[in-house]
Structure 1
Amino acid sequence: MAKSLPLRSEVPVQETWDLQSLFASHEEFNEALVSLEKEASDFHSQFHGKISNPSSVIEALAAYMAFVEKLVPVSTYASLTLSTDQTDSEAQMLSSKFGSVSAKIGSQLSFVSSELLALPEETLEAAMKESNEFRVYLEKLLRKKEYQLHPEAEKTLAAYSATFNAPYGLYNTTKMVDMSFEDFEVNGKSYPLSYVSFEGDWEAEPDAEIRRAAFDAFSEKLKDYQHTTAKTYDMQLQMEKTTSDLRGYDSVFDYLLFNQEVDRTLYNRQIDLITQELAPHMRKYAKLLQEVHGLEKMTFADLKISLDPTYEPEITVEESKKYINDALGIMGEDYLDMVERSYSERWIDFAQNKGKSTGAFCSSPYGNHPYILISWTGRMNEVFVLAHELGHAGHFYNANREQNVFNARPSLYFIEAPSTMNEMLVANHLLKNSEDPKFKRWVISSIVARTYYHNFVTHLLEAAYQRKVYERIDAGQSVNAGILNELKRGVLEEFWGDAVEITPGAELTWMRQPHYYMGLYPYTYSAGLTISTQVSKRILNEGQTAVDEWLDVLKAGGTKTPVELAQMAGVDITTEEPLRDTIAYIGELIDELVTLTKEIEVKQ
């Protein structure tokens, strides 16, 4: 049962991450920031107006790369310090200070791209031949040439970068600082409520009366902030549309997909195929939940409940290590060494406290080790969440060692493949080690309810909604709370049909995700999981060969496009086949849940 959250200062140190490998103190961080400002100024004096031939291109990029490497820990420290307690005044100021200095530095160094793109293409091609280290960077830069503005315009836009990031900061402040939840009551008994406790506990509460009351209380508080949040979001959208128009993209979609290195065909396919073909399977799953729990009606507030809440194993952080190690052992000793270090060297922030960012994420600063944020609830499904984030960690642990800072990060389209891959490895491992029908049903329902529901339903429905929002923006319109509520409700009703009642409050789900401030991110979860589902099947069938190829993909970082990375792993995402096969696989899992449930009921 959820408890009131402690202050950050009250949680045990061993449950928190150790940021000292970045900076030993705020003072050291501030000194590094001052030093970076001076270095940026020196870099500007040394190279501005002097990049003219292949050798000066290479010299400037080598110095620029060294500067970026120093910027990474400063940026990461500012971000991570705030993420564990957004109510912390000192952390707020630290983050704001970095934002303003970063914008100043970005403006000062914007000349690098401008001067490189002003050179004849033959000069850049000659530089690529002379130094393979910067080939990928220059190839990606050349793709942007037609969208590059005048150097002074680029400099001005870079100076406003902190302002352009403001909507996301405002969203987080509204959500994590201003929004305070009161206790809710059921049958005269009072229960504490917070963002973390709702998403970590109450959403999955087996008692329908308590669960629905929590949903209603949570939704009422969201409603109080819907207009501010909608205005914040519209600000983000209008800035993206203006930037898209200024740079000469045909649409805001083309602008946002450009850096993902995929076209709208792949984007639309994920949304359209899943919306149409997965919906019948998920409606069957919703009906199964309704039957097993004896619910008179299935509502939106009931979708996150466990198929068998009596069989939800409790698990400590320490106990999770064995499951993670056993499941990910197939990835090899080096990978397991990283997992061991993540626990022993406190790379992971497990604590639940007031002001902490919701959900989970992994930050992987170049030149350092990854950091994982999670709010550990003690439920077994946290093993899947942790495995997911360790998938991101393992990806960049490998890519950062093999590639330079410019080449380490792949397209956003591919980013969720290594993370969801680890969830599949956990599921496969658990299924292999038990024939008990109740345990098998728990594992399969975890895959459906955690891995696939989260990535193929929650995030995919965000993507379907987001596409409708951007269609309005592309047509020169804006949005407000009423419009966003209507769009979200429409998407939910279309997907769930008559299997689920979309009760009041469900339409406010758009307020809960930070992903909308990160471009066209939500659809990439299903894209990544499509790839990882296919690769996990290969690993089951082919073993070490498939594992070795997957590790090569992780090491490739951003040196290949998403299509090329998937091809390296034996998956062709230029066709519908991998996605259709994955949807069919989800259908098979749900059918197996129905069969196992009947088998268990007969035995009882």
Structure 2
Amino acid sequence: MNKTKTLPKRSEVPNEWKWKLEDIYATDAAWEQDVAKIKEMTEQIKAKQGTLAESGKNLLDTLLLQDEITKILDRVYVYARMRRDEENSNSTYQALTDRASSLATQVSSAMSYIQPEILAIPSEQLEKLQQSEEGLEHYRLLLEEITRFKPHTLSASEEAIMAQVSELASAPGKIFGMLNNADIKFPMITNEKGEEVELTKGRYTQFMESKDRRVRKEAFEALYATYGKHRNTIAATLASVVKRDVFYARTRKYESALKASLFADNIDQSVYDNLIETVREHLPLMHRYVSLRKKLFGVDELHMYDLYVPMVQEVEMEIPYEQAVSTIKEALKPLGDDYGKVLEEGFTSGWIDVYENEGKTSGAYSWGAYTTHPYVLMNYQDNVNNMFTLAHEMGHALHSYYSNKNQPYTYADYRIFVAEVASTLNEALLMHHMLEKTTDKGERLYLINYYLEQFRGTLFRQTMFAEYEKLIHANSEKEVPLTADSLSEWYRELNVAYHGDEMIVDEQIDLEWARIPHFYNNFYVYKYATGFSAATALSKQILEEGQPAVERYLAFLKSGGSDYPLNLLKKAGVDMTSPQPIRDALAVFKDLLDELEELAGAK
């Protein structure tokens, strides 16, 4: 795609670089038909309230109808939201997304009686109902899971109120999303060639990798100056979302918002705490990396805007999208022919929206509905980071593909705790492939530096985010106000601790919390770090053991949500109840750091 100094409009992007949302709905009119169908089915499921304990057939019919409604609702919501993500300023799809969100709230409210009603059935009677109706065997795991939530489930009327409140509770995230993706405008900056270029979130990473320190500094200061103008508004949205988490936890009788979040995945808090403690113990490695970066740069002061530019500055690795695709396909060959075939389908059949356009949602994600193939949103820039992002998102996409093909709808949706494993494993195999292939010392230095950056960005940085989330929720639970000043002060303290004495922690970075969308999805980011650790172990097994490890891994991808995350990972070959996988991943970081120091003559 031709590079431009300003972003193209959506209509100017060639179709070959766009995803095919027509595979979900050929027209908006078809979407409307499913909306009408959901409303009709919602009335049907409302009529079943109060009948679940009467017979196994009543219980089965209700659960089957619930699955059918939510399956279609997923499709309706995904289509509307992804259409809006193409161009956030498009009022048509803003409206469809709002309608889909409201419909989801109505459906949730209509079905909110199901769980309390099942929980009200005595255990012996519930077992008799299951034995009386053969089709209920399919729902045994689901019913066991509902029973596990009994201490945290409210009465039917209270659950109905909670369902109605959910749309209000999503407001802070929506407000932040619209501000961050549609309303915020960044200034022009001067690039390396002396040209005035529009700063965007998509281009920010590219500027941070610029060899020209002036460009990095200018982009860094311009980005945070823009967020600084909205610091109080964004602080209010973040404080509101934290209060929402605390409200839900207290209302449902959890000890804390953190424990409430972990309960859904059946994860003990020790797993979360082990991550923070183990990474904290290894912070001297991070400080050593910062020191090496400063030494190789030959600067008196290392700033936060110096963190992303490759330390081996003489190596230029520009990677166009087509080259990234071919490299990823080659790198993932150890996963077998079937995986490769599905990967090829994803690259050639309209799964991916490739390039940035005006109003498009920033960043990257993989998403989709059970009844269609997965999709990947990219804002591709021609660099190593974006190639790895593409491999990462295709890992998510193929995980969804295999889960949906091999699990019934009830158990197809895998938990977020395991979601980052497939994506990060792809990155690990891609890095292994590139390090094996290169014979150039400079390129090897560059790649090792990049891999170290993956560790810094995923294991260290996401753990710092996780510690920050724990801190701000704990303060909110103690009724400590979350203001722009306090949020910035706490964020600064963590940056100082994680980066060490050799780093100048610029005052602008104190505001980084204001641009992190993951903070609106509570206690999500730690899963990047645990997933990275698990993926490091599994990729090592695949490369060393071959087919047996591949078979275990593909079985993991196909398992969806058919068991709890920790159990699924144990079957695949990794025990995340132990800090050992994190220690093992950090040992790889140390070995890479040793090699980089030696190759660069910095020892």
Please state which band the TM-score falls in when normalised by the shorter chain: over 0.9
Residues 408 and 199 of structure 1: CA distance in aligned 2, closer, same or farther (over 3 Å): farther
> Does 1:384 find its partner at 2:388?
yes
Comparing 463-472 with 438-447, greater Cα deviation is found at: 438-447
Aligned residues of 2:231 and 2:514 also touching (Cα < 8 A) = yes
- Give the drift of 1:211: 0.5
Aligned residues of 1:147 and 1:247 also touching (Cα < 8 A) = yes
Matched to 1:488, the amino acid is Y
Residues 560 and 312 of structure 1: CA distance in aligned 2, closer, same or farther (over 3 Å): farther
- 1:140 is matched with 145
The one of 410, 418, 422 aligned to 1:414: 418
Matched to 1:502, the amino acid is V
Residues 199 and 185 of structure 1: CA distance in aligned 2, closer, same or farther (over 3 Å): closer
- 1:159 is matched with 164
- Give the drift of 1:196: 2.4
- 1:17 is matched with 19
Residues 402 and 128 of structure 1: CA distance in aligned 2, closer, same or farther (over 3 Å): farther
Aligned residues of 1:292 and 1:307 also touching (Cα < 8 A) = yes
Q: How does 1:70-85 map to 2 (within 5 A)?
A: 70-85=72-87
SS across alignment from 2:332: helix
Matched to 1:267, the amino acid is Y
Matched to 1:486, the amino acid is E
> Does 1:452 find its partner at 2:455?
yes
- Give the drift of 1:187: 10
Between the aligned partners of 1:536 and 1:382, the Cα distance in structure 2 is: 21
- Give the drift of 1:544: 1.0
Q: How does 1:491-510 map to 2 (within 5 A)?
A: 491-510=494-513
Matched to 2:570, the amino acid is Q
Aligned residues of 2:189 and 2:198 also touching (Cα < 8 A) = yes
Matched to 1:531, the amino acid is A
| Structure 1 portions without partners, runs of 5+ | none
- Give the drift of 1:198: 4.3
> Does 1:244 find its partner at 2:249?
yes
Between the aligned partners of 1:132 and 1:240, the Cα distance in structure 2 is: 34
- Give the drift of 1:40: 0.9
The one of 62, 66, 69 aligned to 2:68: 66
Matched to 1:348, the amino acid is I
Matched to 1:421, the amino acid is L
Matched to 2:533, the amino acid is T
Comparing 91-100 with 404-413, greater Cα deviation is found at: 404-413
- Give the drift of 1:411: 2.7
- 1:472 is matched with 475
Aligned residues of 2:403 and 2:414 also touching (Cα < 8 A) = no
> Does 1:584 find its partner at 2:587?
yes
Residues 216 and 176 of structure 1: CA distance in aligned 2, closer, same or farther (over 3 Å): same
> Does 1:548 find its partner at 2:530?
no
- 1:470-493 CA-to-partner distances (Å, cap 9, x unmatched) read 110121333111111011111100
Residues 551 and 85 of structure 1: CA distance in aligned 2, closer, same or farther (over 3 Å): same
Deviating beyond 6 angstroms after TM superposition, the runs of 4 or more aligned structure 1 residues are none
- 1:104-150 CA-to-partner distances (Å, cap 9, x unmatched) read 12111112212211111233334556433212211211111111111
Matched to 1:179, the amino acid is I
The one of 236, 245, 261 aligned to 1:231: 236
Q: How does 1:320-469 map to 2 (within 5 A)?
A: 320-449=324-453, 451-469=454-472
Aligned residues of 1:364 and 1:371 also touching (Cα < 8 A) = yes
The one of 265, 271, 289 aligned to 2:270: 265
Aligned residues of 2:334 and 2:542 also touching (Cα < 8 A) = no
SS across alignment from 1:184: strand
SS across alignment from 1:362: strand
Structure-1-length-normalised TM-score: 0.95
- 1:253 is matched with 258
- 1:348-375 CA-to-partner distances (Å, cap 9, x unmatched) read 0111112222221100321211100111
- Give the drift of 1:21: 0.9
- 1:511 is matched with 514
| Structure 2 portions without partners, runs of 5+ | none
Comparing 472-481 with 307-316, greater Cα deviation is found at: 307-316
Identity %: 27
Q: How does 1:176-325 map to 2 (within 5 A)?
A: 176-185=181-190, 189=194, 191-277=196-282, 279-325=283-329
Between the aligned partners of 1:2 and 1:592, the Cα distance in structure 2 is: 39
Between the aligned partners of 1:421 and 1:142, the Cα distance in structure 2 is: 34
Between the aligned partners of 1:325 and 1:314, the Cα distance in structure 2 is: 18
- 1:199-244 CA-to-partner distances (Å, cap 9, x unmatched) read 3311111111110111011110010011111101111111111111
Residues 186 and 413 of structure 1: CA distance in aligned 2, closer, same or farther (over 3 Å): closer
- 1:494-527 CA-to-partner distances (Å, cap 9, x unmatched) read 1111121110210111112111111110111010
- 1:42 is matched with 44
Between the aligned partners of 1:22 and 1:298, the Cα distance in structure 2 is: 49
Matched to 1:237, the amino acid is V
Aligned residues of 1:392 and 1:419 also touching (Cα < 8 A) = yes
- Give the drift of 1:261: 1.5
Aligned residues of 2:334 and 2:543 also touching (Cα < 8 A) = no
Aligned residues of 2:469 and 2:522 also touching (Cα < 8 A) = no
The one of 562, 565, 568 aligned to 2:565: 562
